[in-house]
A and B are shown apart, each in its own frame.
Chain A
Amino acid sequence: MSWFKRSKQNISPESQKRSMPDGQWIKCQECDEIIHNKQLEINLWVCLKCNFHFRIGADEYISFLMDDGSFKEYDKKMKSGDPLEFVDTKKYSERTSSTIKKTGLNDAVKTGIGKLNGKKVSAAFMDFRFIGGSMGSVVGEKIARAIDRAFENKIPLIIISQSGGARMMEAAYSLMQMAKTSSRLARLADAKIPYISVLTDPTTGGTTASYAMLGDVILAEPKALIGFAGPRVIKETIGKDLPPGFQRSEFLLEHGFVDCVVQRKELKNNLSALIDFMM
Chain B
Amino acid sequence: MASNILDFEKPIAELENKIREMRKYEDNLDIKEEISSLEEKVVKLKQNIYENLTRWQRVQLARHPERPYTLDYIYMMTKNFIELHGDRQYRDDKAIVGGFASIDEYKVMIIGQQKGRDTKSNIYRNFGMANPEGYRKALRLMKLAEKFNKPVITLIDTPGAYPGLEAEQNGQAEAIARNLLEMSRLKVPIIVVIIGEGASGGALGIAVGDRILMLENTWYSVISPESCSSILWRSWEYKEQAAEALKLTAVDLLEQKIIDKIIPEPLGGAHKDHNKMAETLRNELKSELAALIKIKPEKLIQNRLEKFGKMGVYTE
Contacts and interface: CB of A to CB of B under 8 A. Distances in A.
A175 B305 contact: no
B150 to A, nearest CB: 20
A166 B233 CA distance: 17
Given A168-B222, A209-B201, A247 B168 contact: yes
Interface in A190-221: 190, 205-206, 208-214
Given A183-B305, A211-B177, A84 B312 contact: no
A79 interface: yes
A260 to B, nearest CB: 16
B308 A176 contact: yes
A54 interface: no
A257 B171 contact: yes
Interface in A60-107: 75, 77-84, 86-89
Given A138-B314, A206-B200, A206-B201, A184 B177 contact: no
A227 B168 contact: yes
Nearest to A230: B163
- The number of chain B residues touching the other chain, given as a range, is 35 or more
Contacts of A183: 180-181, 184-185, 208, 304-305, 308-309
Q: Is the interface of B mostly helix, strand, loop or mixed?
A: helix
B246 interface: yes
A237 B164 contact: yes
Interface centre among B222, B247, B309, B316 (most CB of A within 10 A): B222
Contacts of A228: 161, 163, 167-168, 172-173, 176, 201
Interface in A18-59: none
A111 interface: no
B232 interface: yes
Nearest to A135: B222
A209 B164 CA distance: 15
Interface centre among B241, B242, B245 (most CB of A within 10 A): B245
Contacts of A89: 232-233
Contacts of A87: 245
Contacts of B181: 182-183, 185-186, 189, 214
A144 B256 CA distance: 20
Interface in A142-201: 144, 166-180, 182-187, 189-190
A213 B135 CA distance: 15
- The number of chain A residues touching the other chain, given as a range, is 35 or more
Given A172-B220, A187-B305, A213 B201 contact: no
B278 to A, nearest CB: 26
Nearest to B312: A137
Contacts of B258: 172-173, 176
B248 A212 contact: no
A217 B221 CA distance: 30
B245 A84 contact: yes
Contacts of A251: 169
Interface string B245-277: 111100011001010000000000000000000
Interface string B225-241: 00110011100001001
A-B pairs with lowest CB-CB distance, top 6: A229-B163, A137-B312, A183-B184, A182-B180, A83-B313, A81-B313
Interface of B: 161-165, 167-174, 176-178, 180-182, 184-185, 200-201, 204-205, 208, 220-223, 227-228, 231-233, 238, 241-242, 245-248, 252-253, 256, 258, 304-305, 308-309, 311-316
Interface of A: 75, 77-84, 86-89, 136-138, 140-141, 144, 166-180, 182-187, 189-190, 205-206, 208-214, 226-229, 233-234, 237-238, 240, 242, 246-247, 251, 255-257
